[in-house]
Amino acid sequence: MAFNFLIVDDSETVRAVIAKTLHVAGLPINELYQAANGKDALDILAGHWADLIFTDINMPVMDGIEFIDRLGADDMLKSIPVVIVSTEGSQTRIEQLKAKGAVAYVRKPFQPELIRKVVEETLGAPNEN
Amino acid sequence: MKTEHAEALSDTFCRVIEQLAFMFAEPAEPDVVPQPAGPCVAVAMEFSGVFGGSLRLAVPAAICAELAGNMLGMDLDDGEAAARGTDSLKELLNITCGNILTEIAGTEAVFTLTIPAAEPLEPGKWDEFRRREGALAFLIDDNPALLELVVKGEAA
């Protein structure tokens, strides 16, 4: 089974790094969507399904906190696992985001292996499917 | 800037750029980082929370493509790396900012960060930046860099 991923970050470079990490890790990828902010991500999700979402917090237009709130308010979208990938270091805010539904948190700068580990823990290792 | 903040900022910046882009920065005396020959770029952002302030970084523009290339694992002559140079520099500042705020204020404090903004550094502004009291100087793989953290409203 191959997965659809959505990467939400206003840095095109960070989106490319995460995308490359997913490819190099050998994870089964069906579609890999990218958005520069929460609003653009919601627009993508209006027409496409994602099995896992990576999102930054600090973004223009719609930040990651509002994006997660909007996902949680949607009966369909709230079931999608969300992984925070951010420079955020506040445990207070991280706990708030997990309470809103985020399943994991990866702090920047991250080792690529951590992205793979989080995906496997959330969706299952490739050989499990 | 407090001495302990300067030490933490220096350590954090060197660690972040090494982990992010496999580039090595070392602190330098401001006198040994004169105005680079080519154009320079500055990125800046602000933060607010238990205290407020700003973080600003200036580097030669030529280093931006190298930064992006290292982050993405691309050759330096790859046009994509050059196109993403400024974006990569903004992300370097963003990550440094998030990490230094945790170092200074701890993991319970919550901050709101602005989006980093980049602009060309006009001739003469490098020396002006370099002479600021709180400016820290670095050599990144022999390229000069200037970094300044301004903290406002912090308890003594």
ipTM of the complex: 0.90
Burial category of B156 from C-beta neighbours within 10 Å (exposed 0-12, middle 13-18, buried 19 and up)? exposed
For chain B, give every domain's residue range. Answer: 3-61+96-152
For residue A54, name the pLDDT band (cuts at 50, 70, 90): very high
Q: Is the pLDDT of residue A129 over 50?
A: no
Q: Is the pLDDT of residue A33 over 80?
A: yes
A93 assigned to some structural domain: no
A127 assigned to some structural domain: no
**CATH number for A48:** 3.40.50.2300
For residue A126, name the pLDDT band (cuts at 50, 70, 90): low
Interface of A with B (CB under 8 A): 10-14, 16-17, 20, 58-60, 86-93, 108-109, 111
pLDDT digits (tens, 9 = 90+) for B106-123: 999 999 999 999 999 988
pLDDT digits (tens, 9 = 90+) for B11-65: 999 999 999 999 999 999 988 887 888 999 999 999 999 999 999 999 999 999 9
Q: Between B81 and B89, whose confidence is greater?
A: B89
Q: Which domain holds residue A66?
A: 29-88
Neighbour count for residue B43 (Cβ, 10 Å): 22
The token pair at B109 is 């404090």
Which residue type occupies B92?
L
Count of domains in chain A?
Answer: 1
Asked if A30 and A3 touch (Cβ cutoff 8 Å), the reply is yes
CB contact under 8 A, A58 and B113: yes
As a whole number of angstroms, the distance between CA A122 and CA B133 comes to 48
CB contact under 8 A, B107 and A89: yes
The token pair at B123 is 């001739």
As a whole number of angstroms, the distance between CA A35 and CA A5 comes to 11
Which CATH topology does B3-61+96-152 take?
A: Chemotaxis protein chec (3.40.1550)
pLDDT digits (tens, 9 = 90+) for A82-114: 999 999 899 999 999 999 999 999 999 998 889
